[in-house]
């Protein structure tokens, strides 16, 4: 069991004073770049929703799901063990743009809003003179501060691939307008997200299948909730093939974005960061298709590629474990900006120049938090995990069964043991729990988790509550099935209705 963080006694400080101090600290942090001219490179951040690393051909999928991504990544650095902190969009994307864990920045579930004391990459680069633009198909009702231009590219009357078409087109147009200056563009695409309904010709991976599964969310829900529902290996392969088809659909739009960089003549002066918010279980555990309830690698391990000719090595693959907290410090380092002391991650530039073969941090940390908003210091109602080398420990001392969609708290949940230990070298699918066979390793990693939580307790942050509009948007795509009253028990995604 994770040892509880030590209790600390502290004087109560009025919340208003804390808020003022926090905003002042953010303003001081912005001064890091206020007196600096724009760096020598543009920055293009590309994130793809629900993109599981091993379903890309770049990461070993025998299907040609990502030919454009593969060809582009050959000119950059590919990270084979990159991790998201949570299987949830808003927490991970917020980690990418702040360099902080969810337990610190306070956004632990979708719909929660980042407080102003947490500075974002866009705010820093905007202060440095960059033109900034966000072209998003998810997390569109978040504050997303620091962007001079925002395009919220979604329309519930159209399928996800149409959202991606619009978002990628708007991102290219933004780069065209600012090709002679310096820009930071963020493009977030949606299509791998359920329902798994790839458009032709990307549905060809299911050719020959004659079963009943078509990739609709209702079917996927039934598989998890009803253990008697028929679902054999052919059915699973067909559903995974539909998911793969959506990756291939996304790949075609990224091909156009990569081509635009070359056509504009800015490929060599643009740092491109490619990552995902999380993966997808795809029935690897508990007959569960989705992501928000899982803390296994199918969900937490994400694709991560950096490309910047002349600065990032071409054609290199790195085995070192890295985290999405490392994105912001790496970007700032490559741009020549100093790194703020409050960043939780670290720059990966020393890996490029051979100074180090691994990060100074040996551990990567993860968490599952309830869909409803809880006290930032309520560690009992969470599940935590740590990876160190080949070992991964999942600590669930309260014996929780995560209840994100399609589960309902008190009725059903994603089954977990109180303690799980896996050797990821011999068991990458996390099927054999070694906690009883390797008690010393489990105890060592459990103690490391306890120390991390003790440190996190001192700086644990909270978020602003979801707005009514955010909750309405959650319900619109089916995440709050059962009506607005379900908001307290099921907030697994955020989707609004703008293009």
Hey, what domains does the chain have and what are their CATH numbers?
A: 15-361 (3.40.720.10)
- The whole-number pLDDT of residue 359 equals 82
- Residue 456: alpha-carbon gap to chain centroid: 20
pLDDT in tens, 231-255: 999 999 999 999 999 999 999 999 9
- The whole-number pLDDT of residue 468 equals 57
pLDDT band for position 355 (50/70/90)?
confident
Side-chain half-sphere exposure of 259, counting CA atoms within 13 A: 9
Q: What are phi and psi of 54, to 5 degrees?
A: -80, 5
Lowest average pLDDT, out of 258-267, 331-340, 422-431, 479-488, goes to 479-488
Q: Which residues contact 163 (CB under 8 A, 6 or more apart)?
A: 137, 153, 154, 155, 189, 190, 191, 499
Host H or E run for residue 121: helix 121-127
- The whole-number pLDDT of residue 156 equals 84
| Structure-block tokens of residue 126 | 């905007």
Stronger pLDDT, 495 or 14, i.e. the higher one: 14
pLDDT in tens, 414-468: 999 999 999 999 999 999 999 999 999 999 999 999 999 988 878 776 555 544 5
pTM, entire model: 0.89
pLDDT in tens, 54-94: 999 999 999 999 999 999 999 999 999 999 999 999 999 99
């Amino acid at each position: 069991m994770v040892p509880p963080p030590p209790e600390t006694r502290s004087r109560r400080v009025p919340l208003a004073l804390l808020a003022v101090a926090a905003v002042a600290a953010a303003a001081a942090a912005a001064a890091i770049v206020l007196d600096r001219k724009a760096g020598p490179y543009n920055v293009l951040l590309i994130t793809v929703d629900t993109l599981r690393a091993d379903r890309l051909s770049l990461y070993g999928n025998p299907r040609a799901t990502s030919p454009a991504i593969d060809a582009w990544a050959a000119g950059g650095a590919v990270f084979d063990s990159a991790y998201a902190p949570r299987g949830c969009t808003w927490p991970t994307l917020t980690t990418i743009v702040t360099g902080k864990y969810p337990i610190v920045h306070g956004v632990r579930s979708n719909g929660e809003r980042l407080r102003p004391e947490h500075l974002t990459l866009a705010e820093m680069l905007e202060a440095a003179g960059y033109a900034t633009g966000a072209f998003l198909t998810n997390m569109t009702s978040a504050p997303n501060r620091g962007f001079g231009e925002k395009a919220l590219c979604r329309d519930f009357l159209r399928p996800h691939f149409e959202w991606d078409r619009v978002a990628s087109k708007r991102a290219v147009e933004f780069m065209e307008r600012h090709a002679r200056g310096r820009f930071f563009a963020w493009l977030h695409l949606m299509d791998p997200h359920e329902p798994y309904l790839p458009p032709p010709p990307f549905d060809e991976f299911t050719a020959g299948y004659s079963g009943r599964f078509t990739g609709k969310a209702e079917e996927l829900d039934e598989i998890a909730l009803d253990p008697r529902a028929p679902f054999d290996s052919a059915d699973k392969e067909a559903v995974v093939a539909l998911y793969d088809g959506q990756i291939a659909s996304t790949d075609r739009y990224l091909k156009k974005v990569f081509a635009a960089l070359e056509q504009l003549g800015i490929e060599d002066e643009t740092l491109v960061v490619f990552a995902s918010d999380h993966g997808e279980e795809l029935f690897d555990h508990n007959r569960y298709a989705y992501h928000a309830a899982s803390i296994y690698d199918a969900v937490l391990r994400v694709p991560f590629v950096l490309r910047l000719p002349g600065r990032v090595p071409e054609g290199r693959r790195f085995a070192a474990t890295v985290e999405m907290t490392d994105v912001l410090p790496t970007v700032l380092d490559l741009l020549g900006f100093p790194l703020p002391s409050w960043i939780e991650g670290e720059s990966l530039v020393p890996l490029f120049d051979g100074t180090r073969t691994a990060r100074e941090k040996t551990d990567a940390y993860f968490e599952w938090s309830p869909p409803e908003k809880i006290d930032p210091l309520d560690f009992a109602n969470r599940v935590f995990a740590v990876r160190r080398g080949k070992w991964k420990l999942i600590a669930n001392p309260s014996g929780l069964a995560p209840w994100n969609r399609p589960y309902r708290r008190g009725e059903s949940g994603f089954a977990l043991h109180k303690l799980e230990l896996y050797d990821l070298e011999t068991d990458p699918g996390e099927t054999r729990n070694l906690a009883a066979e390797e008690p010393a390793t489990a105890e060592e990693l459990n103690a490391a988790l306890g120390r991390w939580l003790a440190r996190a307790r001192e700086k644990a942050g909270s978020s602003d509550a979801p707005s009514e509009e955010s909750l309405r948007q959650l319900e619109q795509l089916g995440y709050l099935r059962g009506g607005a009253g379900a908001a307290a028990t099921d907030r697994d995604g955020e989707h609004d209705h703008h293009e």
